[in-house]
């Protein structure tokens, strides 16, 4: 994929183009949200192009693979930097892809701060430019540094009654809805981009009793959805606040209709239901065409109209560090900009769409838990809410996703394929963990496993061409081909840190750190079940004998949604330690935790919670400020 910034124009920005990255590099800057100081459309062009400029190509490691740049060099001067190839996630990386090349040219230096929220892309770009310099026989110290412009703007918001903290789906919905309610809104986002987790999400979203359902002749209701969300448990640990769950079930339909008819979110063929995540009672889950990022874009377009009319502002690289109060009620926000500038602004109401903590390793509720959330899931809303006196629900037991491969530490790009036909799941003790025919059981099984470690075990008999032993954790990256997946497995086996291959069960267990005797017994017993056609332990029916060389992939849970968070009432009004509403303070989405509103077990409830509670919070805040 060749990408240059010159190709991007707002008018030609299709959703598909936005996601594939073909015109994506300056999508955010075209919309005015990139947060980069220079206004030039050709962000990577040189300010001057002397005739003796020679170009060199360099590459560096981005988040999604190599980034390649073409650097024009005349004597010891960097005349131009052009990004010629990259696979980064557009909404996250846009700001770095435009800002870093510009600042390198302007400052004649690689000593440039990484763009907040796009650190890996920033470092990849600097590595690529440095690489091109060395091709020219130069190093950083050969450049005549001309300044230390960090490209950060300290922008003031419009005067507004309502402030929204966080530019993920919750914040975007809250801002767009408050604008629709006729309110002026200031949105603050701590990174250089909007979209939070939703811009990398698959885009499955749930809502009951919608126009889309009715058009398909489906009779659904909030009551049915509530019954589904709370099914099988009167356990207050699972559904701690039934009235909040009910509000979610009741508002999710009107919210979906609003997204569908007012925001004009592209729901593709508008058909509900999707494989693993389809609720068994009704297909009330819908896939946003091209993933959650295209829903963000539709909302951003509405907010952009508000900006043009002078009713809204979006301030990037601006972290809310304190909620100001007067006589117990919200009176404003303290904002700390990325360059360290601190300012205070008055607001009557604040909506917290600050998201979860899935990318904060210190806040993980599990041992050995990784993440596939972007760095925007920072947990920074916790501190903010706690300081404002909010009642906080602890991160409680809720198994994150299972099967993450910890080959690169905390951030997990790869997952063992938990649907790999014939594979079994084994814990450190060497025994099987659950019925492997039911991937949904994996969450609970990994949650209960010692050290939360589970091994996905298979043999040569299962390594059939065309199957993938390893898959990606993130939808936006597409998928590994079976060939790439098999090759990745082999390279992980060669490294011997998270994958092993051996001719006998005992050898495999020894290499992988599994109880050797128990594991050997498990394999023997399991193969016996296959011969008999009866899994006496778990009742599995997809039985395949483990024969030939054996493989084990070590996996742990990985998080992409949180449970604990800010306690709210049914109006999304934040409650204090005595469960009393804090006047003017509202919260929604992952900031309030999944369990509080949707029991957390249903696919599509992450985006559903974010959008629904952003909507509720906006309506409540609008009514409050009058
Ligand atoms: C790979 C992946 C796939 C997913 N797929 C799905 C799916 O298909 N369906 C589904 O329902 N859910 C899915 N989810 C979950 C879903 O995307 C999230 O639950 C949801 O988007 C959370 O939205 P949010 O706005 O509440 O929080 P976030 O998206 O985390 O946004 C919070 C924003 O607030 C900012 N912020 C935090 N603190 C501050 C502060 N103090 N000042 C200023 N800004 C601050 C952050 O930088 C961030 O941008 C997926 C998640 C991931 C990671």
Q: What is the DSSP string of 8-59?
A: --GGG--HHHHHHTTT-TTHHHHTT-S--S---SSTT--S---TT-EEEEEE
User: Which tokens go with 592?
Assistant: 């309030």
Nearest CA owner, ligand 1 atom 47: 376
pLDDT, tens only, 38-84: 222 233 444 445 568 899 999 999 988 899 999 999 888 999 999 99
pLDDT, tens only, 179-198: 999 999 999 999 999 999 99
d(CA 315, CA 190): 8
Helices (H) then strands (E): counts for the chain: 16, 24
Chain centroid, CA 96 distance in Å: 18
Element housing 563 (H / E):
none
The per-residue pLDDT for 512 is 98
Nearest atom, ligand 1, residue 371 CA: 53
- The confidence band for 597, taking pLDDT boundaries of 50, 70 and 90, is confident
d(CA 242, CA 598): 9
In 460-606 the beta strands, taken as DSSP E runs, fall at 470-472, 499-502, 550-559, 565-566, 573-575, 581-587
Nearest CA owner, ligand 1 atom 50: 201
d(CA 351, CA 572): 9
pLDDT > 90 fraction of the chain, expressed in percent and rounded: 67
Residue found under tokens 């602890």: 394
Ligand 1: which of 276, 354, 585, 605 to mutate, most ligand atoms within 8 Å of CB?
A: 354
Three-state SS at 273: coil
Q: What is the mean pLDDT of the chain?
A: 87
Distance 378 CA to ligand 1 centre (A): 10
Evaluate if residue 276 carries a pLDDT over 80: no
Evaluate if residue 321 carries a pLDDT over 80: yes
444 or 567: which carries more pLDDT confidence?
567
**Checking DSSP bridges between strand 162-165 and strand 185-189, what pairing results, if any?**
parallel
Q: What is the CA radius of gyration of the chain?
A: 26
Q: Nearest 10 degrees: CA dihedral of 598, 600, 605, 610?
A: 80
- Residue 316's beta-bridge partner residues? 189
pLDDT, tens only, 136-160: 999 888 988 887 787 888 899 999 9
pLDDT, tens only, 474-514: 766 667 899 999 999 999 999 999 999 999 999 999 999 99
CA distances to 13, 170, 224, 364 from 118, rounded to whole Å, are 22, 21, 41, 22
Distance 402 CA to ligand 1 centre (A): 19
- Residue 551's beta-bridge partner residues? 458, 501
Three-state SS at 102: helix
Ligand 1: which of 165, 192, 198 to mutate, most ligand atoms within 8 Å of CB?
A: 198
Three-state SS at 454: strand
Determine contact, residues 420/458, Cβ cutoff 8 Å: yes
Distance 189 CA to ligand 1 centre (A): 12
Chain centroid, CA 413 distance in Å: 12
The per-residue pLDDT for 500 is 98
**Checking DSSP bridges between strand 312-316 and strand 285-287, what pairing results, if any?**
unpaired
d(CA 354, CA 190): 10
- The confidence band for 275, taking pLDDT boundaries of 50, 70 and 90, is low
Pocket around ligand 1 at a 6 A CB cut-off: 165-171, 188-191, 196-198, 200-205, 292, 319-320, 353-356, 372-373, 376-378, 380-381, 384, 474, 560-561, 589-591, 604-608, 610
User: Which tokens go with 103?
Assistant: 């600042």
Whole-prediction pTM: 0.86
- In b/e form, how buried is each residue of 134-155, taking b as 16+ CB within 10 angstroms? eebebeeeebeeeeeebbbeee
Alpha-carbon torsion 229, 377, 28, 474, what sign? negative
The per-residue pLDDT for 10 is 25
Nearest atom, ligand 1, residue 562 CA: 19
d(CA 92, CA 422): 38
Q: Angle at the Cα of 537 (from 531 to 541), degrees rounded to 5?
A: 55
Evaluate if residue 223 carries a pLDDT over 60: yes
CA distances to 232, 497, 545 from 550, rounded to whole Å, are 39, 16, 11
Element housing 418 (H / E):
none
Ligand 1: which of 166, 319, 411 to mutate, most ligand atoms within 8 Å of CB?
A: 166
Average pLDDT score over residue span 342-356: 98
Three-state SS at 401: strand
Phi, psi of 277 (to 5 degrees): -95, -5
Determine contact, residues 294/203, Cβ cutoff 8 Å: yes
Determine contact, residues 169/183, Cβ cutoff 8 Å: no
Distance 356 CA to ligand 1 centre (A): 7
- Residue 287's beta-bridge partner residues? 204
CA distances to 329, 430, 432, 543, 544 from 436, rounded to whole Å, are 52, 15, 9, 10, 12
Nearest atom, ligand 1, residue 474 CA: 1
Evaluate if residue 394 carries a pLDDT over 90: no
Determine contact, residues 115/375, Cβ cutoff 8 Å: no
Q: Please tell me the least confidently modeled range out of 82-86, 295-299, 363-367, 606-610.
A: 363-367
Distance 358 CA to ligand 1 centre (A): 9
Least Cα distance to 356 among 152, 584, 197, 143 occurs for 197
Nearest CA owner, ligand 1 atom 19: 606
Distance 590 CA to ligand 1 centre (A): 7
Determine contact, residues 107/215, Cβ cutoff 8 Å: no
The per-residue pLDDT for 399 is 57
Nearest CA owner, ligand 1 atom 21: 198
Distance 210 CA to ligand 1 centre (A): 24
Distance 291 CA to ligand 1 centre (A): 13
Distance 373 CA to ligand 1 centre (A): 8
């Amino acid at each position: 994929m060749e990408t240059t910034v010159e190709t991007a124009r707002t008018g030609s920005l299709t959703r598909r183009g936005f996601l594939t990255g073909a015109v994506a590099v300056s999508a955010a800057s075209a919309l005015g949200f990139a947060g980069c100081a220079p206004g030039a459309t050709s962000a990577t062009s040189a300010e001057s192009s002397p005739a003796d400029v020679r170009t060199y190509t360099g590459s560096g490691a981005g988040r999604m693979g190599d980034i390649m740049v073409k650097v024009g060099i005349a004597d010891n001067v960097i005349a131009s930097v052009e990004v010629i190839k990259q696979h980064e996630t557009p909404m996250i990386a846009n700001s770095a892809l435009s800002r870093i090349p510009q600042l390198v040219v302007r400052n004649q230096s690689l000593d440039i701060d990484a763009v907040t929220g796009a650190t890996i892309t920033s470092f990849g770009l600097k590595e690529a430019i440095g690489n091109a310099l060395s091709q020219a026989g130069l190093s950083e110290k050969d450049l005549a540094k001309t300044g230390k412009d960090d490209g950060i703007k300290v922008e003031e918001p419009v005067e507004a009654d309502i402030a929204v903290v966080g530019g993920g789906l919750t914040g975007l919905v809250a801002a767009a809805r408050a604008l629709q309610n006729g309110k002026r809104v200031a949105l603050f986002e701590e990174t250089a981009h909007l979209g939070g987790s939703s811009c990398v999400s698959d885009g499955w979203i749930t809502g009951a009793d919608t126009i889309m359902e009715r058009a398909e002749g489906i009779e659904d209701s909030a009551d049915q959805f509530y019954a589904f969300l709370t099914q099988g448990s009167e356990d207050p640990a699972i559904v701690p606040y039934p009235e909040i769950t009910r509000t979610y079930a009741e508002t999710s339909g009107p919210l979906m209709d609003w997204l569908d008819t007012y925001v004009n979110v592209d729901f593709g063929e508008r058909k509900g239901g999707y494989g693993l995540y389809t609720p068994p009672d009704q297909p009330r889950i819908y896939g946003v065409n091209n993933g959650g990022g295209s829903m963000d874009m539709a909302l951003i377009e509405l907010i952009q109209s508000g900006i043009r009319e002078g009713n809204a502002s979006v301030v990037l690289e601006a972290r809310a560090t304190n909620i100001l109060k007067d006589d117990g009620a919200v009176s404003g926000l303290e904002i700390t900009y990325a360059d360290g500038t601190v300012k205070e602004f008055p607001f009557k109401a604040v909506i917290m769409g600050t998201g979860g903590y899935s990318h904060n390793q210190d806040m993980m509720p599990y041992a050995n838990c990784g993440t596939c959330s972007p760095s925007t899931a920072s947990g920074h809303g916790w501190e903010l809410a706690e300081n404002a006196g909010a009642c906080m629900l602890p991160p409680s037991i809720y198994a994150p996703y299972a099967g993450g491969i910890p080959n690169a530490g905390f951030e997990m790009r790869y997952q063992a394929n938990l649907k790999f036909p014939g594979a079994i799941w084994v814990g450190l003790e060497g025994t099987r963990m659950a019925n492997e025919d039911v991937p949904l059981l994996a969450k609970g099984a990994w949650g209960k496993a010692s050290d939360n470690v589970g091994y996905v075990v298979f043999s040569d008999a299962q390594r059939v061409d065309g199957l993938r032993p390893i898959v990606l954790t993130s939808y936006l990256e597409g998928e590994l081909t079976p060939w790439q997946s098999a090759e990745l497995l082999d390279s992980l086996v060669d490294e011997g840190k998270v994958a092993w291959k051996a001719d006998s069960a005992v050898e495999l267990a020894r290499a992988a750190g599994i109880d050797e005797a128990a594991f050997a017994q498990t394999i023997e017993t399991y193969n016996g079940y296959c011969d008999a056609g009866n899994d006496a332990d778990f009742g599995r029916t997809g039985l395949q004998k483990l024969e030939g060389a054996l493989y084990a992939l070590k996996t742990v849970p990985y998080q992409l949604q949180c449970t604990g968070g800010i306690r709210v009432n049914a109006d999304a009004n934040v409650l204090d330690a005595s469960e009393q509403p804090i006047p003017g303070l509202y919260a929604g989405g992952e900031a309030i935790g999944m369990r509080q509103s949707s029991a957390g077990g249903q696919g599509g409830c992450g985006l559903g919670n974010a959008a629904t509670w952003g909507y509720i919070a906006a309506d409540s805040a609008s009514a409050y400020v009058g």
